[in-house]
Chains A and B, each alone.
Chain A
Amino acid sequence: MEKRVVFKSAWLPYVLLLPQITITVLFFFWPAAQAVYFSFQLQDAFGMTSQFVWFDNYTYLFRDSHYLSSFKVTAFFSVMVAACGILISLLLATMADSVVRGALGYKTFLIWPYAVAPAIAGVLWAFIFAPSIGIVTYFLKKFGIDWNWIINSEQAMLLVVIASVWKQISYNFLFFLAGLQSIPKSLIEAAAIDGAGPFRRFWTIVFPLLSPTTFFLLVMNIIYSFFDTFGVIDATTQGGPGDATKILVYKVYYDGVKAADLGGSSAQSVILMAIVISLTVIQFRYIERRVQY
């Protein structure tokens, strides 16, 4: 796409681009390049000297059981967040699309968690599930469940999944609702006339037509659980107990800021960058294909 009518000026476009490019170079390219550079270096404990060590930081990482377990934790966490978030939102959106009255009201009451910061979502849920004073903990105890996410790794994982899904439901819900509303009603009516019940209609018509939305949301939810959930984790479990909820991005932060391991943390940053880039590429290729479809 190109404009036919353009203006001519030798300097104006550069002036207009200057603020954007300056900030991009200063805070995006330079730091990203630095991360790559640091990832090939080994620093001493005081940061006084450093030596070039090629891929040592990387090979060390892939032999480090903590790092590999962080990969597993991240994979489990993001699959859980994406799957639960998408299923719940799809159910709610299908229902909201089917009711004649009150759809707008439900929408208003379902979208506000989008505005809650991940860290605050974490604090809210940590309070409800607090081991000694939490209100839900109290009821769980009545059912004989001993709830303590501070020492139990499965429960800690469950807590961060719940908090992360809760915050993301509104986002998924809005996209599903928009997707559902764009499906022509005539298709569904035709199927109903042919005798297809509501479940059959959903699986054979609605769900396939929603698949672009579902795929888009899948990618967005994975990106969300990789990065944005940092706040949830830091405000609740801080990666613990042990390494049970230490997702990759939290480990980058922990190793770089708390443990001051510049080389290792940078190598992890570079790996994360590679993951984001591949996710973005997958998404864009998919969108291109969808245009033809």
Chain B
Amino acid sequence: MVENRPYRDFFAHAVLVTGVLLVAFPLWVTFVASTLTFEQIVNVPMPLWPGDQFLHNYTQVLTSGSEKGSSAPVSTMLFNSLVMALSIAIGKIVISILSAFAIVYFRFPGRQFFFWSVFVTLMLPVEVRIIPTFKVAADLGILDSHVGLALPLIASATATFLFRQFFMTIPDELAEAARIDGAGPIRFFIDVVLPLSKTHMAALFVILFIYGWNQYLWPLLITASESMYTVVIGIKRMIAGGDASNEWHLIMATAMLALMPPALVVVLMQKWFVKGLVETEK
């Protein structure tokens, strides 16, 4: 960079490699544990090199769940997580882009009021209103269902803001030209706004997919039957008691299955992920 000092470069690499290794250490232990037998893990210290139980453990959890804790197969839980993550991500994008379009491209009575009422929802995370929200879900009869998992988490101020900011940067000439050519607002939305918003939608999708997949408190409250558990809840239910009695080999295999999909999304869609993260937060 500024000066050429080989030892400093070496130092930087050393710090970074240490950081990467420390960050990866839990993942490695988890992976190794998921390939061992129960006896190998309980026999302290557990080996730090993968064993030969990979197929056995993963088939076991995917098809029939754990033996002592929850007995729902993890494949069902993965499916529930996927449904939840996809409906939250797509749902949020759809309702936010529609409301941002209304707020930016129309003048109507109550516009400011609606804008601010969406804005203040930023300040109300699920955690601070758990019990009343649970009551609403109970009254609507959506407890223990896929709708109940996703619907209450769909409203999003951040996505609405992102789209609003972006729509403000679309040149007015485009809307003017569309109007002169006789296109109404719906036509304009479908043919101009949607195609222009593609990159923003992709970036938001990555962030919201992870958000939905990793939800914990809400699914914990409203799922009652094991067939509705998301995989994050499933793991929690597998941890039954003392640490030597848990079936750690199965729990760790489930943990790998639970963290791989969002981790792959982050790593493979890194560009969209970074864009989404930086833009939704600022």
Residues in A lying within 8 Å of B, measured CB to CB: 1, 3-10, 12-14, 16-17, 19-21, 23-24, 26-32, 34-35, 38, 88, 91-92, 95-96, 98-100, 102, 106-121, 123-128, 130-135, 138-139, 166, 169-171, 174-175, 178, 185, 188-189, 192, 198, 216, 220, 227, 230-231, 234-235, 249, 252-253, 256-257, 262, 265-266, 269, 272-273, 276-277, 280, 287
Contacts and interface: CB of A to CB of B under 8 A. Distances in A.
A31 B104 CA distance: 28
A115 B266 contact: yes
B240 interface: no
B54 interface: no
B250 interface: no
B188 A24 contact: no
A110 B259 contact: no
B29 interface: yes
Interface of B: 1-3, 8-9, 12-13, 15-16, 19-20, 23-27, 29-30, 33, 41-42, 44-46, 48, 94-96, 98-99, 101-108, 111, 114, 117-118, 121-125, 127-133, 135-136, 140, 151-155, 160, 167-168, 172, 175-176, 179, 184-186, 188, 210, 213-217, 220-221, 232, 235-236, 239, 242-244, 248, 251-252, 255, 258-259, 262-263, 265-267, 270, 273-274, 277-278, 281-282
Contact of A27 (B8, B136, B184): B136
Given A19-B95, A32-B128, 19 more contacts: A3-B105, A7-B106, A7-B184, A13-B103, A21-B99, A92-B19, A112-B266, A115-B263, A124-B26, A128-B25, A128-B26, A130-B243, A138-B44, A138-B45, A169-B23, A175-B278, A266-B132, A269-B129, A276-B125
Contacts of B278: 174-175, 178
Contact of A135 (B16, B48, B117): B48
Contact of B252 (A115, A127, A139, A273): A127
Leading 7 A-B pairs by shortest Cβ distance:
A31-B132, A117-B214, A34-B132, A115-B262, A16-B102, A231-B216, A13-B106
A124 B102 contact: no
Contacts of A5: 172, 175-176, 179
Contacts of B106: 6-9, 12-13
A96 to B, nearest CB: 6
Contacts of A88: 19
B13 A99 contact: yes
B154 A23 contact: yes
Contacts of A34: 129, 132, 135
Contact of B216 (A31, A117, A277): A117
A273 B122 CA distance: 11
Given A192-B3, A231-B232, A266 B131 contact: yes
B232 A24 contact: no
A112 B235 contact: no
B15 A92 contact: yes
B132 A30 contact: yes
A133 B44 contact: yes
Nearest to B99: A20
Nearest to A171: B277
Contact of A28 (B16, B24, B121): B121
Give the interface SS of chain B, mostly helix, strand, loop or mixed. helix
Give the interface SS of chain A, mostly helix, strand, loop or mixed. helix
Nearest to A220: B281
Nearest to B259: A116
A60 to B, nearest CB: 18
A129 B216 CA distance: 22
B259 A120 contact: yes
B243 to A, nearest CB: 4
A273 B128 contact: yes
Nearest to A94: B12
B243 A252 contact: no
A99 B235 contact: no
Contact of A257 (B102, B130, B153): B130
A16 B135 contact: no
Contacts of B265: 115
B155 A20 contact: yes
B46 A133 contact: yes
Contact of A230 (B26, B105, B216, B273): B216
